[in-house]
Amino acid sequence: MARQAYVNGRYVPHGSAAVHIEDRGYQFADGVYEVVTIIGGRMIDEEPHLDRLERSLRELEIAMPMSRTVLRMVMRELVRRNRVEDGLLYMQITRGVSPRDHKYPGPSVTPSVVMTTRQGDYANSAKFEDGVKVITIPDIRWQRCDIKTISLLPNCIGKTMAARADAYEAWQVDADGNVTEGTSSNAWIVTKDGTLVTRPATHAILNGITRLSILRIAGEEGIQFEERPFSVEEAKSAREAFTSSATSFATPVVTIDDRTIANGKPGSLTLRIFECYMDYCRGLREPKSGGQKERARRAG
C-alpha cells in the first residue's frame, strides 16, 4: 500500500498531500509540531509529547483541534496504514486558513492538522559507537524557544552550517558564551567529577521530552546531575559530552569545534545513559516514579 498522510480529517496519498496556500503555517509559520519516535511499534513518550503539544498550542492561543483521545486514534491509524514498526510520526497544527493578515484571525478559523510518518531504524547507527562532531554558533533565535513552533529558519541555518563543517550538530551559544542547545537537540556535558550537566528548561531552550526521560533515568540510577548553564570552554574541557532528542536518543559528542573531548571516544556515563534509555524505549524498563511528569509540569 502506498504511503499515506493525514490532512484535516482525511487520509490521503503522501505524494499529493497539501494545505491551502493561505494556511497561516505556510505564510507565517504560525503553528507548532511534535515528533514521536516509534520503536518496535511503540510510540515513545507519547503522553509527554502530547502534553508539550497542548502547552505549545496554549502559548500561541491556538485551539486544540480535537480531543486527545481522537488525536491518539488518528496517530495510531496512520502508523497502522503505513505499517511503521521503526520510524517516526510527525504532527503539525497551525492556526488554519485565513486571508493574509499579521494579527490572529477570529475564533471561527479552524486549525489545520497534518501528520506524516517515516520509516527508519534510528536506534541502530554507528554514531552511538563512534560519537559525533558538533560546532558552536551564535544563538540568533527568538526569546520563546520553549514553544515547539514550526518557525525554524535559524535552526535550519545552523544545521546547514554544521553539515558544511562535516559535523552532526551545531550547539548554539548565547551572548554570555553559554551553550543553550543544539539546532534540533539538547546539549549535555559530564564534568571531571562525573556530574551530568544540562541547561535548565527556561524560555531559552526547548524542554526536550528525551531530555526529561534522561533526567528521570539519571535520578533512578543515582547519577548526580545539575541543571545550569555551561560555557563553550567548559564543554570543550569536559570529561564527556552528548546530545539528545527523539531521534538521536543520547548521541556521544567526541569533538567540539575541532577540539577533541577527553580521549575522543564515547564516554562510559554517556553509554550507560544510552543503554538505560534504550531499555526504556524497548519496554524493558518502566519509570519508577511520576518524576518526569512533575518535572515537565514545573518547566511548563
Q: Tell me whether strands 132-138 and 169-173 are parallel, antiparallel or unpaired.
A: parallel
Please list the active-site residues.
Answer: 148
Give, in degrees to the nearest 5, the angle at Cα 288 between 285 and 294: 120
> How far is 252 from 263, CA to CA, in rounded Å?
12
Q: Would you call 210 exposed, middle or buried from its count of C-beta atoms within 10 A (0-12, 13-18, 19+)?
A: buried
Sole residue written with cell 491551502: 20
Distance between CA atoms of 146 and 204, rounded to whole angstroms? 7
Distances (CA, A) of 29 to 81, 116, 146: 29, 18, 16
Q: In the structure grid, which three cell numbers stand for residue 132, read together?
A: 559525533
